[in-house]
Structure 1
């Protein structure tokens, strides 16, 4: 799938930069945000198909950010990324409208497939 716009939201700059480069080499258009507030601002200025959202961030955590994204930009599909497999948080995020979740560090091929599946769902819902 081409022309997929992704917003990578994570407060770990080295991880974000490395993953953004790797996804960019796969043909995805990737923007980054270092936290929830910056992500909401970025989404208001430049719509995306899929947000990759870290669960554990300083300030606005992943659950609060997911809630705000779904309230302000319900068309954006969100894939949650977490280094901590907390079943309750995963279930909560899916109930709040997250498309799916992956454990960090996610396999790049699996992550790209999730992004493409989420983008296809977004596009089919916009028709």
Structure 2
């Protein structure tokens, strides 16, 4: 794939978001990191992204609270929900409010990459590219 996919990783766990950021970068993606929902919204207001990887459980603005605000900024953005086993019901509910897909932590990297590429193709189609 010759196009760079811009991904915003939103997670309060520093080690997780940094590791994920490095892995996605090694697969040719442009990655921005946010440690909170509020930081993610600030980034998206300044710099459009194709995909958001959004954790459900975060202090401050939770993933549930952040998702509708992301969609106000960019209704076509693809938001993939990342969740631990305990919040599967919340992730499923978030899908009805604009989430594109969700993955349970921990997940295989190839599965995440596949979901990102499918979401990116959907975004391109929605934008008529």
Q: TM-score, normalised on structure 2? A: 0.94
Q: Post-superposition shift, 1:88?
A: 2.9
Residue 100 (str. 1) matches residue 101 (str. 2): yes
> What is aligned with 2:65?
64
- Structure 1 unaligned segments of length 5 or more: list them: none
Q: Deviations 1:94-121 (Å, cap 9, x if unpaired)?
A: 1001000000122110001111111110
For 1:35 and 1:84, the matched residues in 2 are separated by 20
Structural RMSD (CA):
1.1
Shift of 1:87: 4.1
Partner of 1:78: 79
Task: Check conservation: 2:44, 2:73, Cα contact below 8 A.
Answer: no
**Deviation per residue, 1:30-57 (Å, 9 max, x gap):** 1010001100010111111000000000
Runs of 4 or more, structure 1, over 2 Å off, are 84-88
> Structure 1 residue 89: deviation in Å?
1.0
Matched, 1:52 2:53: yes
1: CA distance between counterparts of 2:47 and 2:31? 11
Return 5+ residue gaps in structure 2 as ranges.
Answer: none
Deviation for aligned residue 1:84:
2.6
TM-score, normalized by length of structure 1? 0.95
Residue 38 (structure 1) aligns with: 39
The DSSP-based 3-state class of the residue aligned with 1:80 is: strand
Q: Find the aligned partners of 1:78 and 1:30 in 2 and give their Cα distance.
A: 14
Cα distance in structure 1, aligned partners of 2:114 and 2:43: 24
- Greater shift in the superposed pair: 76-85 or 56-65: 76-85
Distance 1:72 1:116 in 2: 22
